[in-house]
Structure 1
Amino acid sequence: MQQRRRQLLAGALLLPTYAINAAPVLEEVIVSAQKRDANLQDTAVSVQVLGGEALSDLNVKGFDDYIQFLPTVSFDTTRPGVAQVYMRGISSGGDGNHSASMPSVGVYLDEQPITTINEVLDLHAYDIARIETLAGPQGTLFGASSQSGTLRIITNKPVMGEFEAGYDVSGNKVEHGDEGYTLEGFVNIPLADNTALRLVGWHDKAGGYIDNVERTVTFAASGLTATSKAEENFNDVTTSGMRALLKVDLNDRWTVTPGITYQEMKSNGVFSHDPDELGDLNTQEYFDTFYDEEWYQASLTVEGKVGNLDLVYAGAYLDRDRISEYDYTGYAEYLEDVYAYYGYDCLYYQADGTTCANPSQYVDGDENFNRTSHELRIQSSQDERLRFIAGIFYQEQEHEFDLQWVVPDMNSADSVIPGGKTTWQTHQVRNDQDQAIFGEVSFDITEDITALVGARYYEYDNKLYGFNGFIGHCTGDYINGQFVEGAGANVPQYPCFDTKILDGKQSNEDSIWKGNLTYNISDDLMIYITYSEGYRAGGVNRARVDGIPGYEEDFTKNYEFGWKTSWLEKRLRFNGAIYQVQWDDFQYSILDFDVSNLTIIYNAGQATVNGLEFDIDFAATDELILKFSGSYNDAELDDDIINDGEVLAPSGTQMPFVPEIQYTAIARYATDVGEFNVYGQAAFSYTDDSWSELDVSVRSKQSSYEVLNLAAGFTINNTSVDFFIDNATDERAELNKVYAGYDASIDEGVTSVNRPRTIGVRFGQRF
């Protein structure tokens, strides 16, 4: 490990100083990291970019594809649309519960923040201008949850006066699984001299590759059994959607761009396997599992000038609905063991009141998430010596979820839901409101030295209300199949769901700051130092016991030295940053049955991250482009994490889901052969091992993995043909390793896994 680390850092920091005879030039990269379009090399922020052409070259379809080639970002995922994103080592693990902490990375679709708990908006990546990652706290401009960085998905906008259109059709076959295909198209239509419409559509079918195997589990207390049903390749995914953007130049000073995006994703089965217990790409599920979601975003952007000032209004509404069902039989097995210890013969009864019911169960979910956001900002000309950007921001998001734990074999009279089969229900509404005033002021001290000061004043108001409970939530016992409160061998329980209604609120207001000093040594060499702060809002604990307070904000403080450089007459670009991030009073989730049977979040302690990130782009010749990007993060606890006198994680413990080293290497060779432009490409990514949890008693080591994608093809006139092999070595990446815990039906080897080797061909035309 030490040798590999030294090799990586040496390769990043040693620049070639010799001249090469050919004279290709790298294309200029435009980013909007400071809420205005600017050259990447003039932006004193650590930014990594996947442009639209690169996304197409890499055969990117969605989150699982592009995230592999953004090495400043780490992540864990369990299925499409369900993931956590981390940057610069800011991860404590366990933030995926729907009632828990907000993410530490802000995610944006164009101008709207779409960040929410455990749910990445997995937009199909077609006709996308670029994906940017802004590393380090971005709290002054991007607000809450951008405490470690921001990920931005920026779509292509309508183009005035030009008709253009295109389509792509592809087919593929996943190793060990089924076939898939993709249909995509776009059109840009000038409707008038001052009006243009851009339409985009897609339909993608991804074949399954996980087999559900037949297996029987026997419940300890009742002796009853459940058997899973054998089914091959049951984790297929179908994604369909469209996007429409209209751009109208009202005059030479004002532009209005309304838009709407709609997507539906249906995924079946699970995306994890148990190679040690069941074999490669095999799992066991006792009930059908599916996640069906649909969402739409309606947006409006108004841009104009007031005197010499630029004004932008960006408003959007996002509505996301999801129905789901997933197996929970492993938890039933655990409950039988626990309840047998207390003297129960079985957990549930059939309609006759005396016969044990099979406790096999599943969770039935019905969720709605919606968010409204408004931002109004004004900024001065970038040509002025003293310049500024200032704005106001407001957003409100509401997440209503109704989750029911269903036991099909139990007596419906005993259910929480009259006439149903529900043994436990969580029906809660989470409402989060944020409002802020923000701004940054830049001043050119000299022609080459610029100072920047930024600040954000924020207020938040978070509410969580509803109820949760199950059939045995009152103290009591079953007598002749009937529940009698306070009778028999009482099991220690918490108050009844119908007398204990959750209704909590957490509010606060504060300010965060940013300072930056930039020195342009020459046109091709810029260095900068930055101090920046980020925060994540506090919230309400849903514990059903008294005396459990809410949790407060946690904060990051970032100290950074960065550089933007061009070499060899702009053939070589080398950018990077060295940083230290301090994470104060970070939010940490625990499940302690001695306190509550629900997850509790508290402000646990402090962690420190020391790291490096870099990008190297090299136009070696007119035909050969090379790219090498990477990051190094050493993220450790500064304090012991203690719960009820027990040290869960001692000082010095490595933070979870933080690979120490990540890097990507891409080589693309393209040349003309007669009338054809032919190319070959290899894209390689490496992710170091990491831990699955912070608690040292339950965490598992997630192994390092490497992914190699290969592609080749040709273009003639307006037609292109591409052949690709994704995950050419058929690597099994451990994206999320599950701790067995209460689930006795699995072991600690169950992991969410990447897609196996996939071979395909794509045909496209542009007009």
Structure 2
Amino acid sequence: MTIDKKLCAPKFGGFVKKRLPVVIASSLLAPALVWADASLEEVVVTATKRETNLQDVPIAVQALTNEKLEQQNINNFSDYINFMPAVSFQSTRPGVSQVYMRGISSGGDGNHSGSQPSVAVYLDEQPVTTINQVLDVHVYDVARIETLSGPQGTLFGSSAQAGTLRIITNQPTTESFEAAMDVGVNSTKNGGVGNSVEGFVNLPINERAALRVVGWRQEDAGYIDSVAGSRTYAASGITVTNDQYVEKDFNDSVTEGMRAQLKVDLNDNWTANLGVNTQQQETNGVFDHDPEDVGDLEVVRFGPDKYEESWTQSSLTLTGSVGGLEVTYAGAHLDRDSDWASDYSAYAEYLENLYADYGYDCLYYNSMGGCADPTQYIDDNSKYRRTSHELRVQSDQENRLRWIAGAFYQEQVHDFDMRWQVPELSTDDSVIENGHVVWQTAQVRKDTDRALFGEVSYDLTEKLTGMVGIRHFDLENSLVGFAGTLGRCTDFPCVDYPNVDAVTDDKGETYKVNLSYALNDDVMLYTTYSEGYRPGGVNRAQVGVVSPAYSPDWVYNYEFGWKATLLDNRMRFNGSIYRVDWENFQYAYLDYQVSPLTLITNVGQSRTNGMEFDLTYAASEQLLLSLSGSFNAAELQDDYYQTDDDRLEGIVSAPTGTAMPFVPETQLSATARYEMELGSMPAYVQMAWSHTDDSWNSLDVSLRQKQAAYDLVNMSAGLSGEQWSADMFVSNLTDERAEIYRNENDYDARITTNRPRSIGVRLGYRF
């Protein structure tokens, strides 16, 4: 009997006192209570684009399996990211997040026409990496989520310079009919009530074909209040109130979607998988609060706040064999549309103070005389399209000499239209040509990636294996469109940029070398040198202060790692120690004295010295303990000067030794799960804890603020029958206010936080 036995429905994470997680961690070192027949099940991953036992892959990989995802009550990005201590992140709301690995973060990569992310994100076989918007896939009937730490440039290409995050869904099977339904309800402290309905069915059509359909709908209750307030603008003396935007628990959300996958064995050698994933998400309000100026879980808003997103991914995967070689084609297309609006009145107040001599609302918003209320908001419509094709061939993996080679092509287009609206602005055509819009960014960004890649492995002896990999890439980035002020200005610092129509490209190679040595059947050591790259791009502000285009940046990784299965398969202990050099890294910043648009430039070097580990221990047949973590010391290696004038004057924005932003030095995650029987029914109780160290929110030492460390604690318990299950859970037991992202903007400083304590139940039935 193994410790990882499956129950009928998703299970939920944790309940302990705030300091009790120390006991969980300490207990990992305690002797087993009852050894009996406790053992760990094999974990299969596809980190090398082939199915392999986790312990046989000489790569730093952490995997949340289907069983772990269910047990931890993981439904979305904000849930699973806390149990992946190899990954750090920033977020402002569901669907708007950025991930980092191994200290590769400059803190300013969130602009829609700025740098690509440093971590590649995959949904099954398709890359779905998007700037500042990790695809927030609802997690249900998912096989596993993998994190591949360190540069993965050879197999996963551009943006995989710090690592890769992969979401792998369950595939159809012809073996048997299977179906399940899960329903849940939860209540948030000082907030509302949420609920969820999820289900799937696996339907064998015949011995060669099967269909798997998954559906979900989840309502998340709000917990942040928009409270009453007023604002007086400096120059005009106009005072406005926000009565129409006062609302309790206004940051609620609804997520619904479905996934359908059809598997067909075309013949004895070839199989086709056709899939469609679609999801719609609507969120209201904001997910940050202002505890320092307004109150706990409270904000004052003067405009609409909403985010609506829909995306559909269509995919086709063909696998087969030709002449003893395994051949895979993976093609996919992603359509992603978003519409959002956000209060921007704090910026109007900021400019009122900055340009008090001009009278911002008097001279700019109504040059006909008098003053207009400058209260404003942004609305945005973005259309994102990505098409990718990959063809790869690999030899028999049992051979002493084995290899994988492939060709890759992708094209992604981001068509965005952002408008700054001032409802009280005069619409007289002699004042402004476009109604209430005072600023607009309407541009189309296109990124194209062509690549050839391959890896060759050779067993030098029975115990020693060498591997070399290379990827040749050909990248192109173009930006076309307009950004600037609409209408005429008098005596006010207005900017009308000419239309951007620029392109930049780059070619090169990235390399990987790996040696692995099997001490015995249960312990493997490995060492790796690997490279990762991130594409360059076009600056939308062609102002002469920075280059019209920024260059690719590179990561060089030196790593020693181990994979160990110990104590007769009762303990799994994997880890790695590494040094990562990041050269010529891209940095995005705002300088209103130069341009109101984000500027991107290549500024310098950073270095990360770190360690990652993942420990799982079957203490007895009933008790399973796990502890994983990362330690990263990421520091700037050169003085950073924002402009050439600053360099001449000796004004350093970030001196050598500055800690890189959004890089907690320590991240930990621990779980203790005890399974038993109540009468004749399987039951369990589980506690889970995650710790995120403090971090900085900017590279610029004159602007940066420290984001406080936080600990999150969960608890769950449940029991199941032959076909049913029931779970009770408490999330964020200690009601912690995590500082996920502290916005350092002078005109609108708020803190993105997590959900307060919530209590819920979930019922499941397996047909």
The separation in 2 between residues aligned to 1:591 and 1:740, in whole angstroms, is: 10
Gaps of 5+ in 1: 1-6, 478-489
Alpha carbons of structure 1 residues 144 and 753: separation in structure 2 relative to 1, 3 Å: same
Q: Pick the aligned partner of 2:522 from 515, 521, 524.
A: 524
RMSD: 1.9
Looking at structure 1, the residues matched to 30 and 758 of structure 2 have their Cα atoms a distance apart, in angstroms, of 37
CA drift at 1:287: 1.1
1:487 corresponds to: none
Q: Is the 8 A contact 1:620 1:626 kept in 2?
A: yes
For the residues of structure 1 that align with 2:104 and 2:383, how far apart are their CA atoms? 28
Q: Which residue of 2 aligns with 1:123?
A: 137
Structure 1 equivalent of residue 3 of structure 2 = none
Task: Name the structure 2 match of 1:355.
Answer: 370
Deviations 1:521-564 (A, max 9, x none): 10000000000000000000011435742100000000000000
Q: Of the candidates 443, 468, 473, which is equivalent to residue 453 of structure 1?
A: 468
Counterpart position of 1:64: 78
User: Hey, what's the Cα distance between the residues in 1 that align with 2:536 and 2:635?
Assistant: 23
SS at match of 1:709: strand
Q: Distance in 2 between matches of 1:323 and 1:146?
A: 28
Structure 1, 228-237 or 76-85: larger mean CA deviation: 228-237
CA deviations 1:361-412 (Å, max 9, x no partner) are 0001111001000000000011000000000000000001101000000111
Structure 2: which amino acid aligns with 1:735? I
Task: Classify the secondary structure of the residue corresponding to 1:755.
Answer: coil
Task: Output the CA distance in 2 between the equivalents of 1:100 and 1:345.
Answer: 30
Pair 1:712 & 2:717 matched: yes
Residue in 1 aligned with 2:499? 501
Query: Which secondary structure state, in structure 2, belongs to the residue aligned with residue 648 of structure 1?
Result: coil
**Contact between 1:432 and 1:461, CA under 8 Å: does it hold in 2?**
yes
Partner of 1:556: 555
Aligned residue in 2 for 1:751: 751
Shift of 1:336: 1.8
Task: Please tell me whether residue 312 in structure 1 is matched to residue 312 in structure 2.
Answer: no
Bigger mean CA deviation after superposition, 671-680 or 550-559: 671-680
Residue 760 of structure 2: aligned partner = 760
Contact 2:432 2:486 (8 Å CA) reproduced:
no
Q: What are the superposed Cα offsets for residues 81-101 of structure 1, whole Å, 9 maximum, x if unpaired?
A: 000100001000011111110
Between the aligned partners of 1:752 and 1:400, the Cα distance in structure 2 is 27
Q: CA deviation at 1:312?
A: 0.4
Aligned to 1:480: none
Query: Does the C-alpha gap of structure 1 residues 468 and 69 become closer, same or farther in structure 2, counting only changes over 3 Å?
Result: same
Q: Is the 8 A contact 1:682 1:711 kept in 2?
A: yes
Aligned partner of 2:692: which letter? T
Give the Å deviation of 1:594: 3.3
**Structure 2: which amino acid aligns with 1:184?**
E
How does 1:84-163 map onto structure 2 within 5 Å? Answer: 84-163=98-177
Which deviates more from structure 2 when the two are superposed, residues 329-338 or residues 383-392?
Answer: 329-338
Q: Given the superposition, is the C-alpha separation of residues 627 and 592 from structure 1 closer, same or farther in structure 2, using an over 3 Å criterion?
A: same
> What is the Cα deviation at residue 672 of structure 1?
1.8
What's the CA shift string for 1:131-185, capped at 9, x where partnerless? 0000000000000000000000000000113100000000000111000000000
- Secondary structure of the corresponding residue to residue 354 of structure 2: helix
Query: How many angstroms apart in 1 are the aligned matches of 2:502 and 2:694?
Result: 39
- The correspondence of residues 609-758 of structure 1 with structure 2, limited to 5 A, is 609-644=608-643, 645=646, 646-741=651-746, 743=747, 746=748, 748=749, 750-758=750-758
Say which of 536, 541, 560 aligns to 1:543: 541
Distance in 2 (alpha carbons) for counterparts of 1:18 and 1:155: 35
Tell me by how many angstroms 1:419 deviates: 5.2
Change (3 A) 1:390 1:419: closer
Q: Is the 8 A contact 1:719 1:766 kept in 2?
A: yes
Q: CA deviation at 1:341?
A: 2.3
How high is the TM-score relative to the length of structure 2?
0.94
- For residue 671 of structure 1, report the CA deviation from its aligned partner: 1.1
CA separation in 2, counterparts of 1:82 and 1:492? 31
Structure 2 unaligned regions, length at least 5 = 1-20
Q: Which residue number corresponds to residue 483 of structure 1?
A: none
Shift in Å, 1:23: 3.0
Counterpart Cα distance in 2 of 1:422 and 1:21: 70
- Structure number with greater CO (CA < 8 Å, separation at least 6) is 2
**1:492 Cα offset (Å):** 4.6
Secondary structure of the residue aligned to 2:346 is helix
Deviation of 1:337 (Å): 2.1
**Aligned partner of 1:540: which letter?**
V
8 Å CA contact 1:347–1:357 kept in 2: the answer is no
Shift of the alpha carbon at 1:353?
Answer: 3.2
Taking structure 1 as reference, are residues 415 and 464 closer, same or farther at Cα in structure 2, changes over 3 Å only? Answer: farther
Residue in structure 2 matched with residue 404 of structure 1 by the alignment: 419
Instruction: Quote the Cα distance in structure 1 between the aligned partners of 2:574 and 2:741.
Output: 31
Task: Indicate the SS of the match to 1:599.
Answer: strand
* Aligned mates of 1:673, 1:218 — CA distance in 2: 64
Offset of residue 418 of structure 1: 3.7
1:417-496 to structure 2, matched below 5 A, reads 418=433, 420-471=435-486, 477=490, 490-494=491-495, 496=496
Letter of the structure 2 residue corresponding to residue 333 of structure 1:
E
Letter in 2 for 1:128: V
SS in 2 for 1:41: helix
Partner-residue secondary structure (3-state), 1:591: strand
Task: Please give the alpha-carbon distance, in whole angstroms, between the structure 1 residues aligned to 2:434 and 2:124.
Answer: 46
| DSSP 3-state at the match of 1:65 | helix
1:83-133 CA distance string (max 9 Å, x none): 010000100001111111010000000000000100011010000000000
**CA distance in structure 2 between the aligned counterparts of 1:449 and 1:24, rounded to whole angstroms:** 31
> Deviation digits for residues 18-67 of structure 1, max 9, x if unmatched?
99743311000000000000000000000011011111111111000000
Secondary structure of 2:740's counterpart equals strand
Matches of 2:370 and 2:659 in 1, distance apart?
50
CA contact (8 A) 2:737 2:754 kept: yes
How far has the Cα of 1:592 moved from its partner?
A: 2.0
Secondary structure at 1:396's aligned position in 2? strand
- Tell me if the contact between 2:361 and 2:373 (Cα under 8 Å) persists in the aligned partners: no
Spell out, residue by residue over 1:342-374, the C-alpha distance to the aligned partner (whole angstroms, 9 max, x if none).
466724456x93331100000011110010000
2:16 is aligned to: none
**Equivalent-residue separation in structure 2 for 1:17 and 1:391 (angstroms):** 48
Give the letter for the 2:306 counterpart. F
For 2:43, give the aligned amino acid: V
Q: How many residues align?
A: 736
Q: What is the identity percentage for the equivalent residue pairs of Structure 1 and Structure 2?
A: 54
640 and 665 in structure 1: CA distance in 2 versus 1, 3 angstrom threshold: same
Tell me, in whole angstroms, the C-alpha distance in 2 between the residues paired with 1:614 and 1:134: 13
- Separation in structure 2 between the aligned mates of residue 345 and residue 206 of structure 1, nearest angstrom: 39
Residue 55 (structure 2) pairs with residue 45 (structure 1): no
Residue 395 of structure 1 pairs with residue 394 of structure 2: no
Q: Deviations over 1:225-247 (max 9, x none)?
A: 22123210000010000000000
- Give the direction of change, closer, same or farther, for the CA distance of 1:18–1:710 in structure 2 (3 Å limit): closer
Does the C-alpha gap of structure 1 residues 491 and 358 become closer, same or farther in structure 2, counting only changes over 3 Å? closer
Q: How does 1:218-229 map to 2 (within 5 A)?
A: 218-229=232-243
Classify 1:564/1:342 alpha carbon distance in 2 versus 1 (closer, same or farther; 3 Å): same
1:208: which partner in 2?
Answer: 222
Distance in 2, Cα, partners of 1:661 & 1:590: 27
Q: CA deviation at 1:415?
A: 8.9
Q: What are the Cα deviations for residues 686-725 of structure 1, in whole angstroms up to 9, with x where unaligned?
A: 0000000000000110000000010001011110000000
CA distance in 1, matches of 2:354, 2:658: 32
Could you tell me which amino acid in structure 2 is paired with residue 411 of structure 1? S
Q: TM-score, normalised by structure 1?
A: 0.94
Contact kept in structure 2, 1:416 and 1:425, CA below 8 Å? no
Q: Structure 2 counterpart of 1:751, which letter?
A: I
Separation (CA, whole Å) in 1 of partners of 2:31 and 2:510: 41
